[in-house]
Structure 1
């Protein structure tokens, strides 16, 4: 995340810059409010740490200028100040400050407060992006919403079980569980780039048509990568990109689009693969009936080490009754879902 530090004291400016850079932030500096305002107009800054007392334009005046409506994206604003009276704090909040750090600052406290601002900005970016992209997917397929909800719950169920069992400890923590539940609905976002004649075809694909359908993985990943380029610190975009690109890879290396195998496939992609195929097998469509839950479980079990990561399959088998419950309670009466066109030449 790009941070702007504003202070007319060169020593304080250098200390702030050093502290933030050590914690991985990209930093630009300004020595007064007017210079800072011009910098904000030229660079995609999301976080400002500004001294309150500066000649020309104070930090308070800079904060008011930032909140004036000129900037499209929200900028998290921290005032660095020796002002501690209640009326001064109220004055700062009224100007639009998000937080205060009292001089002389304590570096660990500074980083903790800045990280809190980073989380808030991340929530804003994440929620807006996921909502917009999920709605985009629904615009191509009116049944996609129910499919996305089920896959989201399946992924959460698997990730929680793996976490509770202490599996994939380097990768799975509570944040991973939260992120995979949030981002798994974007796995097929690339369908928006597939022609209707193929996406909505009510039968099996020809080899040529299936080659076109395969492109949805790359289209989705490229779309999310473009957003990630703009917000490189957004972990949810990174996971969403990995899921979109790799949820059709197979553990034995025979999947697409890259032919990745084993642990080269991101864990999030390996989890979504199981959830997505289970929902495919248990959904009715024009060219096949829905498989019973028991048969779907058996088919996925038989693909351990081939289509799926054996450890994920083991977790799925333990969680299969939870999958059955989700499948029963999250399924509308409608019988045809076009989302599954992506699986017609895979397992069914």
Structure 2
């Protein structure tokens, strides 16, 4: 796994880095607490091994800042220290440390402590549960195949392209990218509340049936928002609720359910809207043949500024080859 080391003393830092690499881990190194904090914000490593005594931000302060900012994605924190007093251990654990390693440390002890942390992190089944819920909703429609897999990778690819673009107004960080990959499969979770004769109808929906179908956005939002109210720190639930409600909004304000327009539509929903439509275009359905990538791209670019956010369309165009690769990898 990827582990962040925060250690100001050169010899100790080099020794730990060497030992951890010998155990097969990917290592990021910080020379003090402030640098470690900046690295963690960008990389959000699942495990941090930090010295206690460091100039500026010390180990306990680093632990506190990580605990305040980690949200629902737990980080396992190990403190390295020569302190042995009970009061010191209480202080460290109160700051958020999960475990301690005494100086001088040895390879065998490091390996045991890390395995212990990996077991605890392994208990986090959130990703599996979320995708299983999404698949449960999708299972009612036998034609969608690998739609969820493709949409999550399309969405992540566009988010990464936006993060790299010159337009910095979106302020997309690694957490946003992780969350949209995790939550985009829940965009149609509300379809569990749509009756079969409407959801599975092969032909064109009547106006009344279409109004009923549109309610899946509200059903999904209310379900996920109820969970968010119980766990308000869970940013992934906030994003999933936004996506479920707003992925059928249009940039020109002519979408549903709220008629939002422009940047009033959550960015996550603007991204998933494009990913969802692209996959519908390139996939075969009862009512249509699969369109080519070029034809699908032409439709999307033609709807830039009306259906889709032009900035999101530009990001799509910058990574269209990846879209083709994703479709081929997860082809039905």
Indicate if the aligned counterparts of 1:122 and 1:234 stay in contact, CA closer than 8 A: no
- Higher mean C-alpha deviation, range 206-215 or range 128-137: 128-137
Deviation at 1:328, TM superposition (A): 2.2
The question of 1:164 aligning with 2:157 is answered no
Match of 1:141 in 2: 141
* Cα distance between partner residues in 1 of 2:201 and 2:244: 22
SS in 2 for 1:102: helix
Q: What residue number does 1:344 align with?
A: none
**C-alpha displacement of 1:330:** 1.3
Correspondence for 2:206: 206
Query: Within 5 Å, which residues of 2 pair with 1:73-222?
Result: 84=84, 102-104=89-91, 110=95, 124=124, 126-127=126-127, 129-222=129-222
C-alpha distance in structure 1 between counterparts of 2:210 and 2:305, whole Å: 24
- Cα distance, 1:301 vs. partner? 0.2
Q: Distance in 1 between matches of 2:122 and 2:309?
A: 31
Question: Are 2:278 and 1:282 aligned?
Answer: no
Q: How many residues align?
A: 244
| Alpha carbons 1:126, 1:234 under 8 Å: kept | no
Instruction: List gaps (5 residues or longer) in structure 1.
Output: 1-19, 26-45, 47-75, 89-99, 333-348
Which residue number in structure 1 is paired with residue 238 of structure 2?
A: 238
Maintained 8 Å contact 2:134/2:188: no
Q: Deviations over 1:192-243 (max 9, x none)?
A: 1000000000111111111010001111111111111111111111111111
SS at match of 2:229: helix
| Aligned counterparts of 2:216 and 2:241: Cα–Cα separation in 1 | 12
Deviates more, 1:266-275 or 1:145-154: 145-154
- The structural deviation recorded for 1:24 is 6.8
Q: After superposition, where does 1:42-57 map in structure 2 within 5 Å?
A: none
Query: Per the alignment, in what secondary structure is the counterpart of residue 204 of structure 2?
Result: coil
Deviation of 1:131 (Å): 3.5
Structure 1 position 105, deviation (Å): 5.1
Partners of 2:123 and 2:93 lie apart in 1 by: 26
Contact 1:163–1:169 at 8 Å: present in 2 too?
no
Higher-Rg member (1/2): 1
Aligned to 1:69: none
Q: Kindly tell me: are residues 264 and 125 of structure 1, through their superposed partners in 2, closer, same or farther at Cα, counting changes over 3 Å?
A: farther
State the distance in 2 between where 1:266 and 1:24 align.
25
Q: 1:112, CA displacement in angstroms?
A: 7.2
Quick check: 2:190–2:219 contact (8 Å CA) kept in 1?
yes
Alignment RMSD:
3.6
Which consecutive residues of structure 2, in runs of 5 or more, have no partner in the other structure? Answer: 1-63, 100-116
TM-score by length of 1: 0.62
Alignment of 1:326-345 (within 5 A): 326-332=326-332
